[in-house]
Amino acid sequence: MKDILTAPFMQEMIHTCTNMYAHGWDERNGGNISLLLDEEEVKEYLDVFKIIRKIPTGFYTKELAGKYFLVTGTGKYFKNVERDPENNLGLFRINEYGDGAELLWGYSQGGRFTSELPAHLMSHEARLRVDPENRVVMHSHPTNLLAMTYVHDLDEKAFTRTLWQMSTECIVVFPDGVNVLPWMLCGTNEIGEATAEKMKTARLVVWAQHGIYGCGKDLDETFGLIETAEKAAEIYLKIAHLPLKQTITDEDMHLLEERFGVKGREGYLS
């Protein structure tokens, strides 16, 4: 059996965690990632019948029963993932009843998955119904997006249009826009349910005064979604206090739609 630390999905998870910390998105133990895996790719590296221990999830999911996930640990620092992946990450299967996790690798010092796992699982459910290729849920605290929620209207159309106008690539990268939740208590099923509802119509959900949730088909795409929105928010904060002399118009964005074969969210452009 192959060494799991050499698995492409493991290498990419380690690299992504390291990169997110380097970007300043995941201070201390802030942020979390869950990656949905196929059983066949897991079997190359682990005996899927060898369960290390069972961990309650605090959430029932019929749709994800039997699915495999690689997930960051609760209380773990992204900066330490590269140095000690087996302690800071865990690979588990949702049990056949959908209410617990069967740990197959990781959390080596008695740890467990992120406290926001229910929110992740709810978002996985929601996105898989929209696009079966969506396999990643990523949560982080990008500085500029977080700051933007203090000074910008939280109306989703207004928030999205501002980000689209900040950079030519934005409508191309996230044509479905950005959904926004007002401040809610984190680590609860309530915020998980609200986030999952928002995931039905967009792959990016901003948590006001907290951070962002992103979904995508792989770690690269999901990282890129957040990175692009964060860059747009940075530009907005640099110019928001200045008189605008020009911007990317709706007409310009329609040209981008035509050129790149995308369609901006219905009703968001004139």
- List active site positions: 116
CA distance 194 to 137: 15
- 112 CB-contact burial (10 Å; exposed 0-12 / middle 13-18 / buried 19+): buried
Sequence-ordered list of residues with C-beta below 8 angstroms from that of 176, at least 6 positions apart, any chain: 201, 202, 203, 204, 265
Question: Which DSSP string corresponds to 148-194?
Answer: HHHHS---HHHHHHHHHHH-TTHHHH-TT-EEEE----TTSHHHHHH
Report the C-alpha gap between 30 and 187 in whole angstroms.
12
Residues in the chain: 270
Token pair in block for residue 72: 């960051």
- How far is residue 226's CA from residue 215's CA, in Å, rounded to a whole number? 9
Comparing CA positions, the residue from 7, 98, 88, 104 lying closest to residue 49 is 104
Task: Report the sign of the C-alpha dihedral through residues 75, 80, 81, 83, in that order.
Answer: negative
Q: Which strand (E) or helix (H) includes residue 43?
A: helix 39-43
In the numeric block, the tokens 């910008």 are attached to 152
Tell me, what DSSP letter sits at residue 113? B
Rounded CA separation 139/123 (Å): 11
End-to-end Cα spacing for the chain: 57
